[in-house]
Amino acid sequence: MQQDFISIYQGQLMAGVDEVGRGPLAGDVVTAAVILDPARPIVGLNDSKKLSEKRRQQLSEQIKEQALSWCVARASVEEIDQINILQASLLAMSRAVQGLELQPEHVLVDGNKIPRWHYSAEAVVKGDSRVEAIAAASILAKVVRDSEMVAFNSRYPGYEFDRHKGYPTKVHLQALARLGPCAIHRLSFGPVKKALDAGPQLGV
β-bridge pairing 106-110 and 69-75? unpaired
Q: Is the pLDDT of residue 5 over 50?
A: no
Rounded to an integer, what is the distance from CA 31 to the centroid of its chain?
A: 4
Looking at residue 199, its pLDDT comes to: 64
Domain spans in the chain, listed from the N-terminal domain onward: 14-150, 154-197
d(CA 204, CA 159): 13
Q: Is the pLDDT of residue 200 over 70?
A: no
Predicted model pTM: 0.91
Q: Is the pLDDT of residue 38 over 70?
A: yes
- Asked if 17 and 110 touch (Cβ cutoff 8 Å), the reply is yes
Supply φ then ψ for residue 104, to 5 degrees.
-75, 155
Q: Using one digit for the tens of pLDDT, what is the confidence trace for 72-127?
A: 999 999 999 999 999 999 999 999 999 999 999 999 999 999 999 999 999 999 99
Looking at residue 10, its pLDDT comes to: 53
Q: Is the pLDDT of residue 1 over 70?
A: no
Looking at residue 198, its pLDDT comes to: 81
Looking at residue 9, its pLDDT comes to: 53
Looking at residue 14, its pLDDT comes to: 94
d(CA 204, CA 192): 15
CATH number of 14-150: 3.30.420.10
Q: Is 12 left (phi over 0), alpha (psi -120 to 50) or beta?
A: beta
What single-letter amino acid sits at 37?
D
Q: Using one digit for the tens of pLDDT, what is the confidence trace for 96-110?
A: 999 999 999 999 999
SS3 20: strand
